[in-house]
């Protein structure tokens, strides 16, 4: 033992004698606010989202962290190292997630692997350039041409959804590139390149290729954002060389300053300094934030004919700026310590407190909101809630079969605990975002089962029927697990401009999306009814049918008024009440389906079995209203919810549902539907 201590002491002495120190811990920055994807959020959340967009996980695998020689697997550590050192040291690290098998085949990548290095992807794109160029440009041109914003049906369009600065035009039924941006890989494409013919007649082909095109587009944009950081030292040295050359040519110092500003304007240099760690608000426009890398910029002093560290360009005080600049430069040149990191954090937080006190940026989150967002990303809350719902589901099933009071009480208690937990997740998102949590597909999938469980708990206590509670636990467990499996983007994102109305977002969207949860609840009970009848289970079918009918009443009472209120919002936003937009049309179809079945049951044209079948048929309609319009059709003014993927699974779901209904109906016996 003494020998071990002696070895350790010797090792520590040798390290201290060589000046070795542990690298500063980037996790000190985790609560510092940063401008990222349209809103201010803590740096820890920003880094997690950045890594998830690239890597499809919020933390690195241990083996990948070892490749990068990182001290830990946290996203903020990798983001900080890339920020300081550039991407080159990590070009052989499998950092880019790619799920599309077709895209992997096109890029000649290993189809059994999901993550690839930057070098592998660049080589794949070089080999595939002729193929993907035509597909991408053609797809995005059709999207832009048919977009609502192109009311004049212009044929010369900028494809900003693909890359800003890419202009294409239709000439003699040929799609021709007119201008390209000076970024990879577009800068090498010559003007006048023809990338497609007969484009307007290929809408069906565009829809078939949508998943692959969106995957390629995302990958290109990720690579561009990852590699966009320019070498500040090299760019500053070129400006210094320019000033020396101008002096040799006999230009005055004032002329030198003017030429430098014309050649490379300071504002442009600030904006191109970096797209990550944007923690520095502009002095004249506090809504514009610059990267910390801008602190390394130099500024020409014509009086002394010297290049000096850039002066304060931020909304912070001069003392705060100079302190942050001193600590950051020490960290960026490799001489920084933990003290420098803490000093940088203290300076930045002091500057933000100044901004909060002056109300210069109303949207800047409070310190409590920043901590709440860090806490939100700390644990897999959705899966924890799903686990509790699963236990509650087992207890519900046992309570209906064993008829024991303590199991019944346990089922209600577990559901209540899961519901409180679920409510906390939604409340946390609402507190951070200051809006209702129904602005994207992830949030609606999170909100829909919450509504179902709330109604089922009320029904369990009021009517003492366990079937709705069982169905609600099944729904919540299934949808929350589906969120994890599909890897829907779970970020706390700002609301899109079309939804930027707290009043209508609360009144219209909450009502309509709540109806989805109620209709799914009725559909699950309809499945239970049909399955029980087909298998001859001894169940209280009249009680289940009453639960189906009551949930249909509630769903229709939410869907129809919510849809009509959406028309009022549409008249206010788009200048028309109704235009048979796909989302509007399918909301109308779903309403008609449910109303038809309710009326048929009310006037005794069908019985309980027919009502159960109707709840399932209605579920098919509402599922297309919710998922199909956004992910399969992908057209219309309700573009804020569009996505791609999962179509084949949805078709299998519909085929399986039809087979289930047909089989159970035939097996259930002699009862007539009409």
Instruction: Give the helix/strand (H/E) hosting 290.
Output: strand 289-291
Task: Give dist(CA 386, CA 407) in Å, integer.
Answer: 20
pTM, entire model: 0.84
33-36 and 39-42 strand pairing:
antiparallel
What band does 107 get if pLDDT is binned at 50, 70 and 90?
A: confident
380-429, pLDDT tens digit by residue? 999 999 999 999 999 999 998 888 889 999 999 999 999 999 999 999 99
Query: Could you give the percent of the chain with pLDDT greater than 90?
Result: 44
What band does 432 get if pLDDT is binned at 50, 70 and 90?
A: very high
Check residue 148 and give left, alpha or beta (phi > 0: left; psi -120 to 50: alpha): alpha
571-588, pLDDT tens digit by residue? 776 677 777 788 888 999
Q: Are 286 and 315 in contact (CB under 8 A)?
A: yes
DSSP letter for each residue of 16-27: HHTT--PPP-GG
Residue 7 has pLDDT above 50, yes or no: no
172-186, pLDDT tens digit by residue? 888 888 888 877 788
Q: Which residue has the higher pLDDT, 187 or 608?
A: 608
What is the rounded average pLDDT of the residues 629-635?
78
**DSSP 3-state of 328:** helix
Residue 9 has pLDDT above 60, yes or no: no
CA torsion 63-223-41-58 (nearest 10°) is -20
pLDDT recorded at residue 243: 87
What band does 545 get if pLDDT is binned at 50, 70 and 90?
A: very high
Each residue of 511-541: b (16+ CB within 10 Å) or e?
bbbbbbbbbbbbbbbbbbbbbbbbeeeebeb
322-336, pLDDT tens digit by residue? 999 999 999 988 888
* Stretch among 308-322, 383-397, 484-498 having the lowest mean pLDDT: 484-498
């Amino acid at each position: 033992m003494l020998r071990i201590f002696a070895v350790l002491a010797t090792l520590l002495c040798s390290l201290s004698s060589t000046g070795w120190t542990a690298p500063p811990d980037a996790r000190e920055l985790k609560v510092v606010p940063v401008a990222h994807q349209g809103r201010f959020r803590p740096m820890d959340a920003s880094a997690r989202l950045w890594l998830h967009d690239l890597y499809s996980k919020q933390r690195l695998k241990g083996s990948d962290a070892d490749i990068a020689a990182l001290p830990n697997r946290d996203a903020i550590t990798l983001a900080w190292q890339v920020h300081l050192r550039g991407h080159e040291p990590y070009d052989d690290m499998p950092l880019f997630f790619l799920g599309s098998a077709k895209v992997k085949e096109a890029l000649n990548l290993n189809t059994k692997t999901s993550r690839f290095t930057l070098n592998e992807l660049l080589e794949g794109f070089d080999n595939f350039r002729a193929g993907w160029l035509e597909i991408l440009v053609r797809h995005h041109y059709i999207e832009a041409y048919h977009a609502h914003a192109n009311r004049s049906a212009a044929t010369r369009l900028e494809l900003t959804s693909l890359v800003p600065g890419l202009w294409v035009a239709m000439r003699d039924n040929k799609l021709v590139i007119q201008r390209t941006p000076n970024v990879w890989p577009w800068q090498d494409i010559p003007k006048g390149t023809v990338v497609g013919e007969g484009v307007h007649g290929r809408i069906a082909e565009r829809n078939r290729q949508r998943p692959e095109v969106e995957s390629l587009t995302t990958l290109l944009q990720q690579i561009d954002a990852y590699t966009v950081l320019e070498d500040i030292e090299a760019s500053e040295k070129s400006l210094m060389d320019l000033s020396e050359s101008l002096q040799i040519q006999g230009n005055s110092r004032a002329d030198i300053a003017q030429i430098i500003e014309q050649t490379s304007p300071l504002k442009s240099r600030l904006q191109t300094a970096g797209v990550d760690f944007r923690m520095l608000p502009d002095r004249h426009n506090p809504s514009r934030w610059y990267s910390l890398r801008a602190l390394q910029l130099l500024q020409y002093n014509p009086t002394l004919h010297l290049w000096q560290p850039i002066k304060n360009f931020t909304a912070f005080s001069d003392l705060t700026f100079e302190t942050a600049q001193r600590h950051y430069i020490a960290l960026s040149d490799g001489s920084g310590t933990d003290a420098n990191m803490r000093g940088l954090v203290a300076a930045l937080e002091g500057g933000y407190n100044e901004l909060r006190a002056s109300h210069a940026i109303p949207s800047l989150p409070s310190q409590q909101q920043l901590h709440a967002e860090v806490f939100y990303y700390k644990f897999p809350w959705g899966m924890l809630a799903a686990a509790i719902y699963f236990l509650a589901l087992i207890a519900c099933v046992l309570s209906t079969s064993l008829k024991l009071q303590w199991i019944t009480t346990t089922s209600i208690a577990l559901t209540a605990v899961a519901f409180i937990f679920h409510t906390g997740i939604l409340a946390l998102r609402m507190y951070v975002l200051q809006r209702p949590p129904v602005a994207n597909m992830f949030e609606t999938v999170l909100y829909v089962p919450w509504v179902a469980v709330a109604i089922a708990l009320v029904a369990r206590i009021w009517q003492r029927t366990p079937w709705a509670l069982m169905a609600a636990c099944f729904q919540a467990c299934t949808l929350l697990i589906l969120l994890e499996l599909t890897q829907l983007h779970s970020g706390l994102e700002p609301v899109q401009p079309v939804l930027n109305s707290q009043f209508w977002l609360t009144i219209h969207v909450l009502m309509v999306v709540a109806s989805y949860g109620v209709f799914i609840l009725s559909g699950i009970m309809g499945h239970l009814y049909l399955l029980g009848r087909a298998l001859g289970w001894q169940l209280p079918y009249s009680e289940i049918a009453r639960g189906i009918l009551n949930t249909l009443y509630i769903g229709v009472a939410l869907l129809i008024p919510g849809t009509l209120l959406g028309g009022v919002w549409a008249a206010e936003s788009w200048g028309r009440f109704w235009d048979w937009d796909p989302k509007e049309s399918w909301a109308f179809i779903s309403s008609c389906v449910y109303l038809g079945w309710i009326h048929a049951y009310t006037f005794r044209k069908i019985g309980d079995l027919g009502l159960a079948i109707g709840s399932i048929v209605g579920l098919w309609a509402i599922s297309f209203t919710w998922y199909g319009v956004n992910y399969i059709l992908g057209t219309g003014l309700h573009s804020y919810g569009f996505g791609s993927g999962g179509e084949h699974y949805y078709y299998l779901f519909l085929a399986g549902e039809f087979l289930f209904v047909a089989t159970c109906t035939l097996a259930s016996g002699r009862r007539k539907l009409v």
